[in-house]
Amino acid sequence: MSNVITEFRGNNFFLSNFFVAPVFYQGVRFENNEAAFQAAKCPERMREFCGLSPQKAKRLGRSVELRPDWEEVKYDVMYQVCKAKFLQNPDLARKLVETGDAELVEGNTWGDKVWGVCDGVGENNLGKTLMRIRDELQK
- pLDDT of 80-117, one tens digit each? 999 999 999 999 999 999 999 999 999 998 889 999 99
**So what CATH class is 4-138?**
mainly alpha
CB contact at 8 A, 43 and 25: no
For 81-90, give one letter per residue: b (16+ CB within 10 A) or e: bbbbbbeebe
Confidence of residue 123 (pLDDT cuts 50, 70, 90): very high
pLDDT of residue 99: 97
Q: Residue range 123-139: average pLDDT?
A: 97
Residue 29 to residue 107: CA distance in whole angstroms: 28
pTM: predicted TM-score of the whole model, two decimal places: 0.94
What percent of the chain is modeled with pLDDT above 90? 95
Report the alpha-carbon angle 8-10-16, nearest 5: 30
pLDDT of residue 1: 46
Say whether pLDDT at 43 is over 70. Answer: yes
Distance CA 108, CA 129 (A): 16
pLDDT band at 60 (very low <50, low <70, confident <90, very high): very high
Domain ranges in the chain? 4-138
pLDDT of residue 101: 95
Average pLDDT, the chain: 96
Q: What is the pLDDT of residue 2?
A: 59
Cβ count within 10 A of residue 68: 8
What does the pLDDT average to over 106-129? 94
pLDDT of residue 78: 98
